[in-house]
């Protein structure tokens, strides 16, 4: 035996290594280990440090003696392994040593250990450092003797961090306790692998059958240990008065404090029942003196899942029969830094203790537990200093402890054998100040007895405050000498401290400043919380994560509150509470009540007890009870219990990391009616991220059969989420709703999160589904799939459960997608694409036939076709010159190493983003750039690069490097890699006179020359013009019909795509997921947009309902109201195109000529100031629309005829258009002053109604307005319409035809960019055009009549129409009719359409007029609008006047976000607007994703036009009446730059504007921009 100075962890580890073959530990517990490590039998102990869970490594087949050293904070994560260890033979003989606490400055915390008390391990606990050593040994020996795994635990604060001298055992003693023979016998027991695996239950039965008496074995080992060492332990033992009244039950260091106090009070009738063996727990009743009247169960654990703590419940269970014994539960540790002997004395002498109390709250009563021979010291100083200092006493008995994280150590020393109380020193004889820190010094001095001794290192190091504190204690101050002889040393008196008593004190510690309140992290879960609130309102009860800023940032002090365990406990408690409440109500009814009350309460009771009653029925009955206050008074508990709540546990994806630990498992298996909403913020868009996926909680839960499971995503399907929440609530058992909300860069940004959601749903990483076991009970299919792809695992589950076939039967479409799991689908598609590419190659080569000239590889990188066009031209020319040409996009050239085998390369690449590669060139560049010289052999390769860019795209000087960057990079890299440059790099610039052609025409001849090819040019293949295409199409038929039948692709051919526009539809692809799909070898996510032509934007309620239904059935669930008063549906798959168009036509709407080179939808002011005028202008437009509509029967033939026939024999005739239709789109509007809401100046042809009385007598006619232009191309520009003059109403249609045919005949047909009517007018002059129109119509324009526009905004709110009918113009941001969490507008309008008797009119600014509401329905309509918040017009003037185009993700031309971003930008600007006091001032603000200008940006007072992702050109100075173009103010600004630029301008405007001066006028007056007069000076800055 020897004495060693160790802390509890080291003592325990030492014991563990005595009896182990193997020690496993984590880096956090590595400090426990003693080196070198040999066991009692002289064998080296195998040390295994692991980053993962040490307990998981314990099981082993050959019965090695294994120990794990862990801290209890990691114990919960080990739960699954603990259970396994207990049930599995491979855990026999293992011991898990646990330092139990919570890493805080608390006395003790056994909560984590208590949480695993049911795991099946034997639990043994120690209460001092010596015990940690001794009982660790006992645990090992007993583990071998019982063949069971043990868990030995001790307090992490007191025992683990106390240093004290303990007696350790020599190997010869150790081997007496556990001999080599014993171990050999243990190891020789064979593991029977041949046994079939038993279910947990059978195993449990079997184990019980041959159960050993663990308690008896442990006690035997303890007794044997006592014989060898003289230290006697018991599994549980009573000490104290034999006739005690009050008995404390405790374990751990707390029990040790109690034991000291009881020893100090020999006469008091008190005792202690100290427990060492906690599981199995023996019968305690026999141990407690029969005299006991009160049992005080003390424990340092807080069980959130139950009212009382574990040990108390255990003890009470034993004393159930002993009614005379009062049991109380005391909590210590957990949050308190110390358990003082005085507080224990206080509770022992207290007459009344609450059933539940906290030891810290008990009034302390002094007690002296320190023997007279012991000295007590408190030392302030760094821990390493103190360690050395304290060790100097180690020849004596010494005990040191300290509070976690504080530089103050408490020491007890004695020259006699003794045990020390494990609490902090309260009255030290000596304080030693080894530090200058006043805080530590004050703490230490507080603990000094009056007149004690203070040891200092130097007087000068003491602050005045410390000196004063010393003086106040009337201490003797001595100088620190040699530590070895510290206690006996010569005492050198420093000064008479009385001199220090009057020093001024400036450093006495103030109250510690409270830690800065942590700013709440943005609550990631907010969108879902919003939904929960919306669906359940008052019924919602979120039971966990209380006081937490978020489930992602649990409360710092109570992190466990975020766990499902915590909430689960609370719900169980509530369920029990309610159960009791119901019983009590029943009793109340039985006892008799007034008849009415009796009836009300009985009704409630009946429903509350009925399994089939709905929540609504119960809550209605509860409200009826609540309405009788007298009755409520009689209720036994809180009346809240009358209601059925919707209980929700809110969790994060971290729960999925370890389902056992998170408590999810308990909730699932508990079977109680509780709902979990688990929000997953992980981004799964890339393959690597998918790999990282955590456990799938959904599959885990579905495997249990009786759990409702839904996987939803708010950004994919809002209604899907609502559905799931309601189903989960209704389901009577556990429900889990897995909700996706990807946090890109750790934040929820709606656009980025939306994109991520799409990608994950699209690729199946986040499938949308619902699994409702309640349906199965009704004989229905429980599984419904709401997205198109599923993961392989889900598919496997469905197959196994035989649901697969049903699903396929229900969704025939899904068959292919389901059968091919994600991975194989990718592979298959990829292989197909590769094969196709190879075939194309071969075709190309064989087509070249006799080509025997030099080989040429032409590669291009191009986003919008310019570079591709140049590359194609070069390839065609080369082919015709006999070269062997291969042409492809850079990324289609798969193996870059192959470049070494090519002879000649011409590479044409444009510039995207900010100096970036176009999307089909990125992989190529990445691979090429990855090579270093020597990695690839390119010496045989000749190359020529032509780059394409725009030198002014990023106009700031510092951004010059982005100009033509890809071309420059590739050219340089090829040269560095050793390839031979044929010609200097060519750089096409959009800014040159002829755009990139300027540089190309200089570069190309040199390139050909260097290739040795002469005479290029001349006989080019004639280009297929759009006119030729129209002629060939046979009046717009093309081969659309055949193409629709081709299921091999979701797209249609280029030509059919152009023709399709005339039929009202565009092919699009989802750009959010374009790149991801490309990476996976999938074709783009093609779909179609369908636009409905409806003059004046008028639709009947029936038509509205049809659109609403089609939106769900075939489109993406939203209806878009466009800037031109049309409906648009997006996301329609090719296979559904025909059904959708048929559906629209059945409702008597049409899509014909909604797009294309024809007259499109005619816009009309939807609400006129003189109500009678509307009908007249509407009728005029209807007639004009019919008059100008294309006459082709192709539309009917392709879309509406029952048989899909192609190339019909009927000879069509287009009387107005002819076979080539118009050169470009043509747009007509009708405005009724003072409203210019239709933006008359933005359109090809405009009619301004001239009204006399209530009669429209005629129109002023405008022509040549148009918005579209191209960035950097000054030949393109927007143009405000010009006035032609007045025409009487009856001649107006004739004039419209004349205008349109003038454009038909004079419009440019060679360059689509120059084909709009505005250019025709500027090319030919207004007078000529006017003359032409007059000639064709036979009418000479009269001078324009007077009119006045006020603005180009919508008229919001209620207005009165004719015949006592009313109109309400509501605000729908960007015309998006879709249910939003806080604005369920789609549902609201659908419900309204079911009974509304008037009509719906789409407004020109994307809002909606509920028109012609009969007076009788007015109130009802108002209530309905209010119910859905559709009457809300309380928006800023800025927002009410904002408009954005669709742009990303569907518009193929979009360069930046628009509709998804403008609301955010407006939000930012609103702040400045509010500050400037302009909240209600109308400033027109418009945004588009590209310069094409669909939202008419160039007429806005403030406009943003997309340039590249996140960057916009800013325009200022449009006229407030929509009459004047604005002007470019700044280029390519990002959000922060926009705000920094615009906010000060807004503020200045507020200060400087004149009465009524609009913003657009003021910015010109203030000199920010020049006034734009006509389109031709738009670019003059
Ligand atoms: C969104 C976008 C970003 C652009 N960024 C740059 C750039 O950073 N540097 C540059 O020189 N040209 C830039 N350009 C200009 C294009 O490279 C140029 O118009 C080219 O002709 C387009 O060719 P493509 O149609 O083959 O993609 C950009 C064009 C667009 C549409
Ligand atoms: S303005 Fe451009 S980005 Fe916006 S919808 Fe029109 S074409 Fe698309």
> Does 1445 contact ligand 2 (Cβ within 6 A)?
yes
Pair 1294, 1242: CB distance under 8 Å: no
Global pTM exceeds 0.85: no
* CB burial string 958-992: b at 16+ within 10 A, e below: eeeebbbbbbbbbbeebeebebeebbebbbbbbbe
Residues near 1370 by Cβ (< 8 Å), separated by ≥ 6?
A: 1356, 1407, 1408, 1409, 1410, 1425, 1430, 1431, 1433
Unique residue bearing structure tokens 């419209």: 1296
Interatomic CA distance for residues 642 and 626, integer angstroms: 9
Pair 303, 280: CB distance under 8 Å: no
Q: How much is the pLDDT for 1070?
A: 84
Bridge partner list, 1132: 1088
Could you tell me which of 746, 761, 766, 737 has the C-alpha nearest to residue 678? 737
Name the token pair of 66. Answer: 């294994």
Neighbours of 504 (CB within 10 A): 7
Radius of gyration (Cα) for the chain, nearest Å?
42
Interatomic CA distance for residues 690 and 711, integer angstroms: 16
Interatomic CA distance for residues 403 and 1418, integer angstroms: 73
Pair 50, 24: CB distance under 8 Å: yes
Name the token pair of 1099. Answer: 């639709």
Q: How much is the pLDDT for 202?
A: 43
Interatomic CA distance for residues 1148 and 37, integer angstroms: 89
Q: Is 1494 a catalytic residue?
A: yes
Task: Tell which phi-psi region holds residue 517, choosing left (phi > 0), alpha (psi between -120 and 50) or beta.
Answer: beta
Q: Is 973 a catalytic residue?
A: no
* CB burial string 713-752: b at 16+ within 10 A, e below: bbbbbbbbbbbbbebbbebebbbbbbbbbbbbeeebeebb
Could you tell me which of 398, 404, 485, 410 has the C-alpha nearest to residue 6? 398
Could you tell me which of 1241, 1235, 1251, 1230 has the C-alpha nearest to residue 1295? 1230
Probe ligand 1: pick from 860, 861, 910, max atoms within 8 Å of CB?
A: 910
Q: Is 1451 a catalytic residue?
A: yes
Return the beta strands (E) in 746-804 as ranges.
Answer: 769-771, 783-785
Pair 1507, 1270: CB distance under 8 Å: no
Q: How much is the pLDDT for 1273?
A: 83
Q: How much is the pLDDT for 637?
A: 67
Q: What are the helix (H) ranges across 1325-1393?
A: 1326-1337, 1385-1393
Residues near 1286 by Cβ (< 8 Å), separated by ≥ 6?
A: 1250, 1258, 1259, 1260, 1261, 1341, 1342, 1343, 1344, 1345
> Does 1452 contact ligand 1 (Cβ within 6 A)?
no
Pair 247, 271: CB distance under 8 Å: yes
Residues near 1146 by Cβ (< 8 Å), separated by ≥ 6?
A: 1106
Q: How remote is the CA of residue 1081 from the centroid of ligand 1, in Å?
A: 25
| Residue of 574, 1227, 1378, 1507 marked catalytic | 1227
- Minimal-distance CA residue to ligand 2 atom 6: 1494
> Does 1492 contact ligand 2 (Cβ within 6 A)?
yes
Q: How much is the pLDDT for 510?
A: 38
| Residue of 1445, 1496, 1524, 1527 marked catalytic | 1445
Q: What is the mean pLDDT of each run of 10 residues along the chain (1581 residues)?
A: 87 94 88 82 89 85 91 79 81 92 76 83 95 97 93 89 89 93 86 45 48 90 95 95 95 94 92 95 90 93 70 82 83 81 91 84 85 85 71 70 75 83 86 80 85 83 80 82 56 64 51 33 62 79 60 51 67 80 87 86 89 83 86 78 86 68 74 86 65 67 85 86 90 91 74 83 84 84 76 65 56 38 42 53 46 82 90 86 87 87 94 90 92 89 96 86 95 94 94 88 91 64 73 88 84 91 92 77 85 96 96 92 96 92 92 95 97 97 96 90 53 86 97 97 98 97 95 90 97 97 93 94 96 96 97 95 95 93 91 97 97 96 95 93 93 92 94 90 95 96 94 96 96 94 95 94 97 93 86
Unique residue bearing structure tokens 């689908």: 825
The values of phi and psi at residue 399, to 5°, are: -135, 125
Whole-number Cα distances in Å, 757 to 512, 681, 754, 768, 791: 47, 10, 5, 11, 15
Whole-number Cα distances in Å, 223 to 20, 134, 231, 234, 282: 22, 12, 9, 8, 17
> Does 1513 contact ligand 1 (Cβ within 6 A)?
no
Probe ligand 2: pick from 1451, 1487, 1511, max atoms within 8 Å of CB?
A: 1451
Q: Is 1308 a catalytic residue?
A: no
Q: Is 1429 a catalytic residue?
A: no
Pair 864, 922: CB distance under 8 Å: no
Q: What is the pLDDT of residues 1200-1242, one digit of tens each?
A: 887 544 444 456 789 899 889 999 999 999 999 999 999 999 9
Q: How remote is the CA of residue 918 from the centroid of ligand 1, in Å?
A: 8
Could you tell me which of 159, 87, 157, 82 has the C-alpha nearest to residue 123? 82
The values of phi and psi at residue 1400, to 5°, are: -110, 135
Name the token pair of 1361. Answer: 């129409």
Name the token pair of 920. Answer: 């089909």
Bridge partner list, 47: 23
Interatomic CA distance for residues 719 and 739, integer angstroms: 13
Pair 493, 476: CB distance under 8 Å: yes
> Does 287 contact ligand 2 (Cβ within 6 A)?
no
Burial of 271 (0-12, 13-18, 19+ CB in 10 A): buried
Q: How remote is the CA of residue 1453 from the centroid of ligand 2, in Å?
A: 6
Q: How much is the pLDDT for 801?
A: 60
Q: What is the pLDDT of residues 218-237, one digit of tens each?
A: 999 999 999 999 999 999 99
> Does 964 contact ligand 1 (Cβ within 6 A)?
yes
SS3 1037: coil
- Minimal-distance CA residue to ligand 1 atom 29: 912
Q: Is 1227 a catalytic residue?
A: yes
Interatomic CA distance for residues 308 and 659, integer angstroms: 26
> Does 1447 contact ligand 2 (Cβ within 6 A)?
yes
């Amino acid at each position: 035996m020897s004495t060693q100075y160790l802390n509890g962890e080291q003592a325990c580890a030492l014991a563990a290594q005595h009896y182990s073959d193997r020690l496993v530990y984590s880096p956090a517990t590595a400090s426990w280990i003693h080196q070198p490590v040999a066991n009692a039998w002289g064998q080296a102990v195998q040390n295994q440090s692991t980053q993962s869970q040490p307990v998981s490594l314990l099981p082993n087949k050959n019965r090695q003696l294994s120990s794990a050293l862990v801290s209890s904070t990691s114990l919960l994560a080990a739960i699954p392994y603990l259970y396994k260890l207990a049930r599995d033979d491979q855990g026999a003989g293992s011991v898990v040593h646990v330092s139990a606490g919570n890493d805080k400055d608390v006395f003790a915390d056994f909560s984590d250990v208590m949480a695993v008390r049911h795991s099946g391990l034997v639990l043994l606990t120690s209460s001092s450092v010596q015990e940690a050593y001794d009982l660790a040994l006992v645990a090992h020996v007993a583990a071998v003797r019982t063949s069971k795994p043990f868990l030995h635990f001790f307090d992490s604060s007191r025992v683990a961090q106390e240093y004290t001298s303990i007696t350790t055992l020599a190997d010869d003693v150790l081997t007496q306790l556990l001999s080599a023979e014993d171990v050999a016998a243990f190891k020789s027991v064979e593991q029977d692998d041949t046994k079939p695996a038993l279910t947990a239950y059978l195993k449990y039965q079997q184990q019980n059958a041959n159960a050993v008496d663990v308690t008896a074995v442990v006690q035997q080992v303890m007794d044997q240990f006592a014989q060898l060492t003289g230290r006697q332990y018991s599994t549980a033992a009573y000490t104290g008065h034999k006739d005690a009244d009050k008995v404390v039950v405790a374990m751990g260091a707390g029990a040790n404090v109690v034991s000291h106090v009881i020893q100090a009070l020999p006469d008091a009738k008190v005792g202690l029942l100290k427990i060492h063996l906690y599981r199995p727990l023996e019968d305690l009743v026999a141990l407690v003196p029969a005299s006991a009247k009160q049992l005080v169960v003390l424990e340092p654990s807080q069980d959130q899942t139950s009212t009382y703590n574990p040990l108390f419940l255990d003890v009470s269970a034993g004393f159930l029969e002993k009614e005379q014994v009062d049991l109380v539960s005391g909590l210590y540790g957990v949050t308190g830094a110390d358990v003082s002997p005085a507080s224990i004395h206080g509770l022992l002498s207290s007459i009344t203790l609450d059933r539940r109390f906290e030891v810290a709250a008990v009034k302390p009563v002094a007690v002296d537990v320190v023997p007279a021979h012991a000295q007590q010291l408190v030392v302030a100083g760094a821990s390493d200093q103190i360690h050395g200092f304290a060790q100097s006493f180690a020849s004596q008995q010494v005990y040191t402890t300290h509070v976690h994280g504080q530089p103050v150590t408490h020491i007890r020393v004695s020259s006699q054998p003794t045990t020390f109380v494990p609490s902090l020193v309260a009255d030290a004889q000596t304080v030693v100040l080894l530090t200058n820190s006043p805080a530590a010094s004050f703490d230490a001095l507080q603990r000094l007895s009056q007149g004690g001794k203070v040891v200092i290192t130097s007087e000068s190091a003491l602050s005045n405050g410390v000196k004063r504190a010393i003086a106040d204690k009337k201490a003797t101050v001595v100088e620190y000498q040699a530590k070895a002889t510290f206690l006996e040393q010569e005492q050198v008196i420093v000064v008479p401290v009385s001199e220090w008593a009057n020093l001024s004190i400036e450093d006495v510690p103030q109250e510690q400043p409270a830690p800065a309140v942590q700013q709440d992290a943005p609550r990631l879960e907010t969108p879902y919380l919003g939904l929960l609130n919306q669906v359940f309102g008052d019924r919602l009860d979120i039971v966990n994560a209380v006081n937490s800023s978020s489930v992602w940032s649990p409360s710092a002090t109570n992190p466990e509150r975020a766990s499902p365990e915590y909430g689960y406990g609370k719900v169980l408690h509530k369920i029990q509470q309610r159960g009791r409440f119901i019983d009590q109500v029943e009793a109340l009814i039985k006892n008799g009540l007034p008849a009415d009350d009796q009836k009300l309460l009985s009704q409630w009771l009946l429903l509350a007890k009925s399994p089939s009653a709905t929540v609504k029925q119960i809550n209605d009955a509860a409200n009826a009870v609540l309405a009788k206050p007298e009755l409520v008074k009689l209720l036994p508990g809180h009346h809240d219990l009358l209601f059925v709540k919707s209980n929700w546990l809110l969790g994060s994806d971290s729960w999925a990391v370890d389902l056992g630990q998170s408590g999810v498992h308990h909730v699932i298996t508990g079977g109680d009616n509780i709902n979990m909403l688990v929000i997953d913020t992980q981004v799964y868009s890339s393959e690597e991220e998918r790999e990282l996926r955590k456990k799938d909680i959904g599959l885990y839960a579905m495997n249990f059969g009786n759990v409702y499971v839904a996987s939803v995503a708010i950004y994919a399907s809002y209604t899907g989420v609502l559905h799931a929440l309601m189903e989960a609530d209704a389901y009577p058992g556990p429900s889990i709703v897995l909700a996706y909300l990807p946090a890109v860069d750790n934040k929820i940004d709606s656009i980025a999160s939306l994109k991520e959601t799409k990608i994950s749903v699209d690729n199946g990483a986040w499938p949308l589904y619902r699994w409702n076991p309640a349906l199965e009970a009704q004989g229905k299919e429980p599984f419904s799939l709401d997205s198109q792809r599923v993961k392989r695992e889900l598919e496997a589950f469905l197959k196994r459960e035989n649901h697969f076939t049903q699903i396929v039967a229900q969704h025939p479409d899904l068959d292919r997608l389901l059968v091919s799991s994600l991975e194989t689908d990718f592979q298959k598609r990829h292989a197909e694409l590769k094969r196709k590419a190879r075939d194309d190659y071969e075709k190309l080569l064989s087509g070249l036939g006799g080509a025997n000239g030099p080989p040429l590889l032409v590669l291009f990188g191009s986003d919008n076709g310019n570079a591709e066009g140049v590359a194609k031209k070069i390839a065609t020319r080369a082919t015709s010159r006999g070269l062997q040409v291969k042409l492809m996009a850079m990324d289609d050239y798969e193996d870059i190493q192959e470049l070494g085998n090519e002879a000649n390369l011409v590479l044409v690449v444009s510039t995207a983003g900010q100096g970036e590669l176009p999307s089909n060139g990125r992989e190529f560049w990445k691979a090429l750039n990855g090579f270093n010289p020597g990695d690839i052999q390119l010496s045989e390769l000749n190359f020529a690069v032509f780059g394409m860019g725009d030198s002014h795209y990023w106009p700031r000087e510092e951004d010059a490097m982005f100009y033509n960057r890809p071309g420059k990079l590739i050219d340089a890299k090829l040269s560095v890699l050793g390839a031979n440059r044929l010609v200097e790099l060519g750089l096409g610039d959009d800014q040159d006179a002829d755009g990139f052609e300027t540089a190309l025409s200089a570069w190309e001849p040199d390139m050909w020359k260097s290739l040795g090819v002469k005479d290029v040019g001349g006989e080019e293949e004639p280009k297929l013009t759009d006119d030729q295409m129209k002629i060939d199409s046979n009046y717009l038929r093309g081969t659309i019909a055949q193409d629709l039948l081709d299921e091999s692709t979701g797209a249609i051919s280029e030509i059919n795509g152009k023709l399709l526009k005339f039929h009202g539809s565009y092919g699009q692809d989802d750009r959010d997921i374009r790149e991801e799909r490309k990476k996976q070898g999938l074709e783009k996510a093609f779909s179609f947009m369908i636009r409905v032509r409806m003059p004046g934007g008028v639709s009947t309620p029936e038509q509205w309902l049809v659109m609403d239904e089609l939106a769900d059935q075939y489109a993406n669930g939203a209806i878009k109201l466009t800037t031109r008063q049309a409906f648009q549906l997006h996301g329609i798959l090719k296979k559904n195109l025909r059904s959708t168009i048929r559906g629209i036509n059945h409702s008597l709407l049409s899509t014909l000529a909604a797009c294309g080179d024809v007259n499109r939808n005619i816009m009309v002011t939807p609400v006129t100031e003189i109500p009678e005028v509307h009908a007249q202008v509407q009728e005029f437009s209807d007639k004009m629309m019919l008059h100008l509509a294309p006459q082709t029967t192709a539309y009917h033939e392709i879309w509406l005829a029952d048989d899909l026939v192609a190339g019909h024999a009927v000879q069509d005739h287009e009387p107005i258009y002819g076979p080539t239709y118009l050169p470009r789109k043509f747009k007509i509007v009708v405005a009724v002053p003072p409203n210019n809401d239709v933006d008359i100046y933005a359109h090809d042809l405009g009619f301004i109604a001239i009204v006399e009385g209530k009669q429209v007598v005629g129109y002023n006619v405008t022509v040549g307005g148009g918005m579209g232009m191209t960035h950097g191309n000054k030949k393109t520009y927007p143009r405000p319409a010009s006035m032609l003059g007045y025409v009487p109403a009856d001649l107006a249609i004739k004039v419209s035809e004349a205008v349109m045919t003038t454009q038909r005949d004079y419009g440019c047909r060679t360059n689509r960019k120059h084909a709009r009517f505005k250019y025709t007018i500027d090319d030919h002059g207004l007078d000529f055009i006017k003359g032409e129109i007059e000639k064709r119509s036979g009418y000479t324009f009269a001078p324009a009549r007077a009119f006045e526009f006020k603005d180009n905004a919508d008229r919001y709110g209620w207005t009165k129409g004719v015949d006592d009918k009313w109109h309400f113009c509501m605000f729908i941001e960007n015309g998006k009719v879709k249910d939003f969490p806080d604005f369920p507008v789609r549902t609201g309008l659908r419900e309204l359409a079911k009974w509304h008797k008037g009509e719906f009119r789409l407004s020109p600014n994307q809002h909606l007029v509920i028109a012609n509401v009969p007076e009788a329905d007015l109130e009802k309509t108002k209530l309905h609008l209010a119910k859905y918040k559709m009457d809300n017009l309380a928006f800023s003037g800025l927002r009410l006047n904002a408009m954005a185009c669709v742009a990303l993700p569907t518009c193929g031309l979009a360069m930046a976000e628009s509709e998804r971003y403008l609301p955010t930008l407006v939000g930012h600007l609103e702040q400045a607007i509010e500050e400037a006091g302009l909240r209600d001032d109308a400033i027109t603000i418009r945004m588009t994703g590209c310069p094409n200008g669909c939202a008419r940006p160039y007429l806005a007072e403030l406009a943003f036009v997309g340039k590249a992702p996140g960057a916009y050109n800013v325009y200022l100075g449009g006229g407030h009446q929509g009459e004047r173009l604005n002007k470019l103010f700044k280029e390519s600004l990002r959000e922060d730059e926009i705000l920094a630029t615009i906010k000060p301008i807004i503020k200045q405007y507020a200060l400087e504007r004149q009465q009524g001066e609009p913003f657009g006028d003021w910015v010109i007056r203030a000199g920010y921009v020049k006034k734009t007069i006509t389109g031709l000076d738009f670019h003059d800055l």
